[in-house]
Structure formats: C-alpha cells, structure tokens
C-alpha cells in the first residue's frame, strides 16, 4: 500500500464507531436481569430490527473481503449460494418459525431432543459449538490482519483490543445489545459498500456506461461455468450447496433461530427473516460488484497497476488504503470492524445460550435462573478468550498446520446436520436408533471424502484407489443426504411409534387445513 498508517480523521471515525458500539452494550446492561432478557431480549424486539440483525450476522467481515476477491479473480458464481436463500425461505419459513417458537425454550437443539432423544441434541449442540467457535477465531484473525495493514498496528494488539471490546459488550448487554449493535453495524456495512461501489462505477472515463461495458468485455459478471460437472466449481454445484446452506442457516443455526424468539409474534419473526434475506442478497451482490469494479479499475487502459503478485483477496484492502480519500477510508474500516463485531458478538451470546440450556440446565434442572445467567456470562468470557487464543495461534502459525487439521475434524464430526433436521421434519417414522446409524454413516462418509481428497506435500492423506473426486462444496450436500437416507431406511428395522404431528411438517399442514375449514 502507499500508506500503512491512516490519517487522524480516519482514526477518529473508527474510534467514534467503536465507542458508539460499546455505549450500546453499556446502555442495555441494566436490563439484563434474567436469562429471558439476556438471550431473548424479553421477546420485545421489532421485526425490522431483528431483520437488520439477521442481515448483519449473515454479512460478515469475511464476506467484506472474500466476495470482492472472488469476483476480481473470477465472476459472480459464489453469489449463487446466496440466491438460493430466498427461494428456500419462501418454501420453509412458514413452517420453521412457528415450529421453533412453539417447541423450544431457547436452544435450537431442544427440538432435536424432542424429536430423536438426548444423543441428537448433543450432536447438534456440539457441532454448532465446534464450527462457530473455530469460525470466531478465523474472523478475529482475518479482520485483524486487514485492519493491521491500514492502521500500522500489529495484528497481536488488534486481536487483543477487539477481543476485549466484543467480549465486554456481549457480557454486559446480552442479545438485546447484540441486535441493536447489529442495526448500527448493518447500516455501516450498507453505507461502506455503497460508497466503494459508487466510486468504482464512476471511476472509468465515461462513467457507469463505460464501467459496465468493460465488465462485459472482461466477462466479469456471470455465474458460469454452466455445465453439469460436480468435480469443479460450477453453477449447479453452487445451486445445490446453496439450498442446503439456506436450510442449515434458517433451520439449524442457533444464531438465526435464537432471533426468532426475540420477536413479539410468529408473524413478526417471519417478517424479520424476509427483511434479513431481502437485505443480504443485494449486499452480497454489491460486494461482488465491487470486485468487478476493482478488476475494471486495475485493468482498463491507462489505469493504475496493482503490486505484482498481489492476491485477489488482498486487492480490496489495497484499493481502500491506496485510492480512497481521507474520511472515506475511516468509514470503510469502521464498516469492516462493524461486520466483525456483529458476527462475533452474536456467536458469543448464542454459544453461551446453548451452554446454559443444552448442558447446565439439562444436567442441573433445579438450578435457579440467577445461577444460569451468571454461568452464561462466564461462558461469554470463556468463548471470547478462546476465540482470541485461536486467532493468536493463527497469527503465529500463519493459519496453517495443526489448526487446519483440527478444523477439518470439526467438519467431519458435524456432518449431516441438515439431514437430521429434514428427517425430523418430514418423516414421522424415523426414530432415534435409525438416526444414530445415519450419523455414523455421515461421519464415515465425510471422513473418507476429506481424507481421500486432501493433499499434504502433493500427496493424498489417504489413497484408497476409490477416492472422493467431486468438488468439496458438494460435501455440503452429500453428508446431509447420506444421513437422511441411511437414517430413514435404518429406522424401519426398529420398532417405534410415529412422531407427534406438532414436531413435523404434518402438524403445520393439519393446522392449515383446520384454519381453512373454519373459514
């Protein structure tokens, strides 16, 4: 970059933004007297605020960097995953929202226990904890890495300061503070993205018309390749992956499901979900457009030339630091930090929620609400410290080595969660014995696929002669299908009654039929 230490005006903007966020946490701290307010905000949050909170959680700081980098290096194919979300949401949200608001107290995985027993609840809860805990460390590290380049502060210091600030806010303010922080940070993300997009669109001589003509000439706006090939990143791979991603987020992810419980009514929760997705898809597209704009900016005739060998995911931070004027840089960095704070605060609160509800309250049912709240706050502190620790390990090891192996193990042992959810929802016959067999099958399949397709020093970790050859994004499809199919078939070998209608889609269909008959 042309400068590594930003102007004092940019520093001031960033500091004001962070102070505002901390102030929100302190303001709502006085209301956090019970677990109901700490985790569900007392069920009093308006739909538009929950929708902005969902949006802010879905649009992470990783997206802020990764989407422009992907579009710069290729085209908009990664956006296909996001485009599947509204399609799935329209089909399923009317079933999912009332189901969770009716059958769970706090944890998504209470539903798993009511449907399939204790083992299913533990599997879902631990899988969520492992995947989100590892993700938190990754987000801490990546945002610190990007911010360090702008501010001239070492990564270690940024990780510590950011970690302490976010943990403090979440510890004090609970989910109510998280949601209102998300509103503030979501607006920051929208504003920062729009500023960058407008600058890039009007940068070429000839303005927007010239920009889009160049984008078309460079083939930078598209979703291909379109052939039916599951071994590489194609349109069909992203469609299939996106369908399961959407179900996973809105049907099995505590960070989203917990927000359903903060709404006043089922209708408000559904409206919030549509607001969240309605904002997310255009903003995902906006950051793809920024990536296209960066390519046009650096490849148009007579345009500036980026440093030789710069990585695609580093091109946006380079542009921000070298091309944007004083003040705008501060707004963009503040938006980047806002995205990180939003994602990490939500993860901490939700990890605390499942720690209290799925473990402490489950094994100590006579504990008081005050004891649960106190433990929940200690869990926030522990998850914050743990995520900072993982980020610091990333910083020391460059994000490779042992951590890469650990996170692959997390992926293996969280296999098939969407298959588990769909099985419970659509099959009354499926039972806990069949599910256990399905989970084992999904874990073994995922382990085989990852170990026979991952190379270390140009050699496969495991070469069986019949190795996994499809794109790794398809694992986000296959593991769920394997669990669903194997568990469904295996269930017929064990005697059990049918699941109650209220725990399946059939309860929803029955209610709709009764409503129509009364009209």
* pLDDT bracket for residue 519 (50, 70, 90): low
pLDDT band at 3 (very low <50, low <70, confident <90, very high): very low
pLDDT for the residue numbered 372: 95
The CA distance from 505 to 503, in Å, is 7
**456: phi then psi, degrees, rounded to nearest 5:** -125, 120
CA 244 to the chain's CA centroid: 13
Q: What is the arithmetic mean of pLDDT over 314-329?
A: 88
* Averaged pLDDT, 267-284: 94
Domain 8-27+41-85+151-225+262-398 classified CATH 3.40.50.12780? no
pLDDT at 142 over 50: yes
pLDDT score of 401:
42
What is the share, in percent, of the chain residues with pLDDT greater than 90?
50
- Residue 411's pLDDT is 56
The partner residues of 456 in beta bridges, in order of sequence, read 459
CA distance 221 to 289: 8
Contact 395, 458 (CB under 8 A): no
Place of tokens 């990852």: 450
pLDDT of amino acid 139: 81
Residue 309 backbone dihedrals phi, psi, to 5 degrees: 80, 10
pLDDT exceeds cutoff 60 at 410: no
Residue partners of 148: CB distance under 8 A and separation at least 6: 154, 155, 158
Please state the domain extents for the chain.
Answer: 8-27+41-85+151-225+262-398
Over the chain, what is the mean pLDDT? 88
Q: What is the mean pLDDT of residues 354-365?
A: 93
Statement: residue 409 has pLDDT above 60: no
- pLDDT band of 412, cuts 50, 70, 90: low
Per mean pLDDT, which range of 53-57, 391-395, 460-464, 494-498 is the poorest?
Answer: 391-395
Position 337 scores a pLDDT of 85
Largest CA distance in the chain: 74
CA 431 to chain centroid, in Å, comes to 30
pLDDT in tens, 413-455: 567 999 999 999 999 999 999 999 999 999 999 889 988 988 8
Tell me what pLDDT residue 398 has.
Answer: 59
Give the pairing type, strands 459-460 and 455-456: antiparallel
CA-based end-to-end distance of the chain: 67
Predicted TM-score (pTM) of this structure: 0.90
CB atoms within 10 A of CB 333: 26
Token digits for 468?
């996994």
Compute the average pLDDT of residues 146-171: 86
Least trusted range by pLDDT, from 23-27, 59-63, 162-166, 313-317: 59-63
Q: Is the sign of the CA dihedral 480, 484, 485, 490 positive or negative?
A: positive
Q: Quick one: tokens of 292?
A: 């296209």
pLDDT of residue 146: 80
Q: Is 236 exposed, middle or buried, given 0-12, 13-18 or 19+ CB atoms closer than 10 A? A: middle
CA dist list (Å): 365 to 108, 118, 239, 380, 408: 18, 15, 43, 21, 34
Q: Specify the pLDDT at position 400.
A: 46
Q: Confidence class of residue 296 from pLDDT cuts 50, 70 and 90?
A: very high
If you average pLDDT over residues 16-38, what whole number do you get? 85
CB atoms within 10 A of CB 252: 22
Residue 2 has a pLDDT of: 42
Helix axis angle, 417-426 to 475-491, nearest 10°: 40
Share of the chain above pLDDT 70, in %: 95
Q: Given this model, what pLDDT does residue 414 score? A: 63
Closest CA to 16 of 250, 268, 298, 330: 330
């Amino acid at each position: 970059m042309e400068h590594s230490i930003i102007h004092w005006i940019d520093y001031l903007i960033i500091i004001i933004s962070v102070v505002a966020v901390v102030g929100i946490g302190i303001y709502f701290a006085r209301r956090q007297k019970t677990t109901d307010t700490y985790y569900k905000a007392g069920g009093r949050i308006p739909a538009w605020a929950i929708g902005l909170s969902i949006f802010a959680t879905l649009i992470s700081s990783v997206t802020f960097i990764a989407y422009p980098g992907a579009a710069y290096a290729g085209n908009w194919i990664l956006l296909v995953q996001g485009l599947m979300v509204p399609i799935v949401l329209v089909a399923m949200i009317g079933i999912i929202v009332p189901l969770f608001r009716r059958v769970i107290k706090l944890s998504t995985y209470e539903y798993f226990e009511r449907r399939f027993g204790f083992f299913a609840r533990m599997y879902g809860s631990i899988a969520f904890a492992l995947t989100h805990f590892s993700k938190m460390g990754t987000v801490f590290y990546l945002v610190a890495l990007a911010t360090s380049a702008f501010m001239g502060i070492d990564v270690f210091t940024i990780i510590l300061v950011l970690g302490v600030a976010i943990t403090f806010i979440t510890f004090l303010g609970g989910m109510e503070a998280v949601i209102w922080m998300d509103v503030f940070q979501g607006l920051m993300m929208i504003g920062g993205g729009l500023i960058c997009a407008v600058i890039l669109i009007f940068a070429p001589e000839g303005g927007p018309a010239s920009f889009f003509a160049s984008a078309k000439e460079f083939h930078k706006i598209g979703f291909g390749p379109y052939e039916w090939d599951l071994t590489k990143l194609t349109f069909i791979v992203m469609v299939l992956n996106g369908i399961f991603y959407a179900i996973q987020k809105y049907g099995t992810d505590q960070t989203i499901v917990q927000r359903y419980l903060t709404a006043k009514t089922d209708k408000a929760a559904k409206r919030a979900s549509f607001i969240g997705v309605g904002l997310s898809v255009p903003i995902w597209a906006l950051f793809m457009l920024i990536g296209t704009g960066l390519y046009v900016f650096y490849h148009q005739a007579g345009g500036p030339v980026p440093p030789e060998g710069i990585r695609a995911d580093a091109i946006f931070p380079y542009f921000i630091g070298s091309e944007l004027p004083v003040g705008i840089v501060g707004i963009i960095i503040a938006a980047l930090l806002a995205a990180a704070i939003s994602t990490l605060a939500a993860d901490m609160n939700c990890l605390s929620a499942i720690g209290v509800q799925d473990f402490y309250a489950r094994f100590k049912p006579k504990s008081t609400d005050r004891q649960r709240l106190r433990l929940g706050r200690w869990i926030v502190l522990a998850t914050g410290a743990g995520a900072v620790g993982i980020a610091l390990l990333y910083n020391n090891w460059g994000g490779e080595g042992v951590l890469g192996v650990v996170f692959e193990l997390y992926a293996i042992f969280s296999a098939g969660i969407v298959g588990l959810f769909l099985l419970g929802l659509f099959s009354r016959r499926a039972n806990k014995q069949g599910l256990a067999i399905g989970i084992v099958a999904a874990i073994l399949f995922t382990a085989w696929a990852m170990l026979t397709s991952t190379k270390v020093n140009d050699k496969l970790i495991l070469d069986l002669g019949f190795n996994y050859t499809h794109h790794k994004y398809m694992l986000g499809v296959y593991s769920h299908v394997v669990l669903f199919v194997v568990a469904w078939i295996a269930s017929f070998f064990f005697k059990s009654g049918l699941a109650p209608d209220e725990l399946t889609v059939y309860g929803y269909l029955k209610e709709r039929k009764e409503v129509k008959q009364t009209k």
